[in-house]
Amino acid sequence: MNQPGQPLLKALRAAHVRLGLLAVIAAGLMLTVVSLLTLRTYVEQNLQLVARSIAYSAEAATVFNDPASATEIVTMIAAQEGLLSADIVRRGGATLASYAREGEAPVDATLARIGTLLFPLRATAPITHQDHEVGQVSVRGNGSVYLLYLLQVVAAVAGCMAVIGWWVSRLSRRVESEIVDPLNRLASLTRTARTERSLSLRAPPAVVREIHTLGEDFNALLAEIQSREAELVAKHDDLKTANESLSYLAFHDSLTGLPNRASFLQHASRAVAAGRGHAGKAAVLYLDSDNFKSVNDRLGHAAGDDVLIETARRIRALLRESDVVARLGGDEFAVLLAPIRGAEDATRIAGEIAAALRAPVASAKFGIIQASASIGVAVFPGHGANAQALLLAADAAMYRAKTTQPGSYCVFDAVLDDETNTHIA
């Protein structure tokens, strides 16, 4: 995996530092060279001017061969101009006057030697009288004076470089505040939106136009994603509701709201499996209306629906939360009692249900409707090893109750219900 590159702020600062240093060094070198060349020209012209001034002033002393006057003139001008030495030589080669600076400190001597390497410190000028050369002036300048001046120029250049460096630093901080910080905030916002799904976050305005445009585009993208996610959530909720509705309809009766046959068999299978593992007992009651067909024929299906709804309500009222009542279809109901202690629990509940269902049904539209139901009881594990076998055994016992005493209940008996039991096997 490739390692990430250096941070933007570090890269920009490095670029600014390199650019600033290059600009400062180039400017410093250029100013120093220009200053050196300008100073060299000035030194050369100044020494030449001093030599001519001595030649002009000492013309008479040279013509009349007056060493004292010539020495006085040379000493005065040389001392005034800070020369290291000055000589007046007559045409024949004899020295008329000379000057040499005395008492030079070691530091000045060193500076003078360095100055000699940098500047043209020697100049000559002829001494003429009536257009004839009568002598020559030779002067040697003091390099330490010009070197000190050059150092002042270099110090000024260094000051300018420091100012430029300070300005580069300010530009770097401005780059950080106007470019790097907004980009870091945008990156942090992007990371938060991705990891925490905070799609309501928005990038603030930025000073730099391109970064501001990038932030606006990012805000628009977040808004679109947020809108799409809201649509997906709404569709997911609709699908969840539809699935729950379909699931409910797949396992419940639409009229009574009770579980249907498929749901009842699932509950019964789980109860049988739990009872098998813990040696527990469960019971299935099978209920069938005794005169439901006659109610439909006399009063219509709406009256039959009232009877079914009331039957479901009465059965549910007599059961525990752990028990299950289901409508198997038509006027047939089934009840799962689990867990129970024995068959006596099942027969007690069956008797209570049979008694409750013998009471007339009071319909707001059809008045008093006489109804009852016959009940068959099958107990696990004695009457069936699985849910389907228990339901068939209870159905057989219900059939015997309906044929012998409608409105009562019977417990499955393999001998009495032999004919039906052969179908169960």
Residue 268, phi then psi, degrees to nearest 5: -65, -40
Two tokens, residue 327: 């409508």
Going by C-alpha positions, the residue among 254, 285, 266, 277 that lies closest to residue 383 is 285
Please give the C-alpha separations between residue 132 and each of 135, 136, 157, 256, 293, in angstroms, as whole numbers: 9, 12, 48, 146, 162
Tokens of 85: 């030495």
Which residues 6+ apart lie within 8 Å of 28 measured at CB? 157, 158, 160, 161
Three-state secondary structure call for residue 43? helix
The overall longest dimension of the chain from CA atoms, in Å, is 177
DSSP code string of 268-292: HHHHHHHHHHHT-EEEEEEEEESSH
Q: Is 102 helix (H, G, I), strand (E, B) or coil?
A: coil
Q: Which of 381, 361, 379, 382 shows the shortest CA–CA distance to 370?
A: 361
Would strands 361-363 and 367-369 be described as parallel, antiparallel, or unpaired? antiparallel
Candidate list 331, 395, 413, 418, residue with the active-site label: 331
What secondary structure letter does DSSP report for 322?
T
306 catalytic? Reply is no
For the sheet with 332-340, list strands across it: 324-329, 332-340, 281-289, 373-380, 409-411
Strand pairing partners for 136? 89, 126
Q: Which helix (H) or strand (E) holds 168?
A: helix 143-175
Return the beta strands (E) in 154-310 as ranges.
281-289
How many H helices and E strands in the chain?
13, 11
| Cα of 298 vs its chain's centroid, Å | 73
User: In sequence order, what are the residues at sequence separation of 6 or more whose Cβ sits closer than 8 angstroms to the Cβ of residue 386?
Assistant: 269, 272
User: How big is the chain, counted in residues?
Assistant: 425
CA distance 291 to 296: 9
Helix, strand, coil percentages (3-state) for the chain, rounded to 5, are 60, 15, 20
Residues with a catalytic annotation lie at 331
